[in-house]
Structure 1
Amino acid sequence: MSEVRISAEPRTEFGKGGARRTRRAGKIPAVLYGHGEKPKHLSLPAREFAAVIRRGGLNQLVSVEITDGTTELALPKALQRDPIKDTIEHVDLLLVRKGEKVTVEVRIDFTGEPEKGGLIVHNLDTLTVEADATAIPESVELSIEGMEVGSNITAAAVNLPSGTTLVSDPETVLVTHTQPRAEAEPEGESEGEDAAEAAEGEKSE
């Protein structure tokens, strides 16, 4: 996943009041931290950053260009959202370096058609992997083509891109092809039929 550039300004106002003023100005309060360096308090353009998250999610590598002349590579580590408006209220940015390995969650794209007659159950739709911070895959692909009823596929079966290693337990079941359950006859209906049959038997006697 290629990096995206975004501008940032140093933030000097803190607390709830400062954060509200930052948001009213169309920006998002953010903190950039990592590698033992002193955290940097920043403000990011709200619309541009929201677009970055829509495209790449939390695995999107961001080149943060700060108005003090410095540029840092970072990954969005955590977002705080307004529960009603669903707008981003605060961002934690994790400082990364080129060549550094990071542990992330990537989406699983299931492809192909399984054997007919069963029900596909997706137990997980993401996989934990370790990858170069500058080469995080957008997703990994897992084929269920011809998957037999009663079988399952584990994390060990996923072919990962070069330079990416599996962190999830290899035995973790990602998808199961189950046998559909036969519809059980409603208990009340069965009991009613039994009672009716018994009554008919008594009348015939």
Structure 2
Amino acid sequence: MSEVVIKAEPRNEFGKGAARKIRRENRVPAVLYGHGTDPQHLSLPGHELLLALRTPNVLIRLQGAADELALPKGVQRDPIKGFLEHVDLLLVKRGEKVTVDIPVTVVGEVADGILDQLLVSISVESEATHIPTGVEVDIEGMSVGTQVTAGDLKLPKGTTLVAEPETLVLHVAAAPTAEPAAAEGEAAEAAEGEAAEAAE
């Protein structure tokens, strides 16, 4: 996994007013914590941070007020405009194992039926500097009744599963047929007819 370098500035003023002032400067309030250290309150460049967060579990190398490696653990966005309001960063060290959620993506097409994907991410443990970008599931040719559990996923070397192996990730279900729908329609029409006769 590549590292994204972001310059951090110290943040000494707190509260909603101070946070709004930071955002007006196109920066984002952040807190760096972990390893039993006192939380560090930082201000990060908004555009650079926004670009970095497009990558799941991005590894951020902070420079300036804090020269550390960090993983984003909590991101607050404005519910309407979508801009970053606050970010929590977890301090990590090289060689350290961390638990993260990585995306589950499917490739291919099922032979018949409908794909029902229950999980779009899965919890794994990986070295902080070698977090996989995700895991792929090849569904090419799968037929109705086929299931894929967390234990079936082919994780990259050095990555171990945290989720229960029996957890269902996806399965192929039978496609609904037109017959039940037609039968329901006929039943509804019959009920309407009976109601009309009773009214007369």
| TM-score in terms of structure 1 length | 0.88
Taking only the aligned residue pairs, the percentage that are identical comes to: 49
Question: Which amino acid is the alignment partner of residue 60 of structure 1?
Answer: V
Task: Determine the structure 2 residue equivalent to 1:109.
Answer: 105
Gap change, CA 1:17 and 1:191, over 3 Å in 2: closer
Tell me how far 1:194 sits from its aligned partner: 8.6
Q: Could you list the runs of 5+ residues in structure 2 that have no partner in the other structure?
A: 196-200
2:171 counterpart of 1:176? yes
Q: Could you list the runs of 5+ residues in structure 1 that have no partner in the other structure?
A: 196-205
The two structures, once aligned, show a CA RMSD in angstroms of 1.9
Task: Determine the structure 1 residue equivalent to 2:73.
Answer: 77
Instruction: Map residues 21-170 of structure 1 onto 2, 5 A cutoff.
Output: 21-54=21-54, 56-57=55-56, 59-67=57-65, 70-116=66-112, 118-170=113-165
Tell me how far 1:182 sits from its aligned partner: 2.7
Moved more, 42-51 or 146-155: 146-155
Gap change, CA 1:12 and 1:194, over 3 Å in 2: closer
Question: Which amino acid is the alignment partner of residue 86 of structure 2?
Answer: H
Question: Which amino acid is the alignment partner of residue 31 of structure 1?
Answer: V
CA distance in 2 between partners of 1:149 and 1:123 (Å):
16
**Which digits, 9 at most, give the CA deviation of each residue in 1:12-36, with x for residues without a partner?**
1111111111111111111100000
Tell me how far 1:191 sits from its aligned partner: 4.3
CA distance in 1 between partners of 2:137 and 2:194 (Å):
50
**Which digits, 9 at most, give the CA deviation of each residue in 1:100-132, with x for residues without a partner?**
01111111121122222x111111111110000
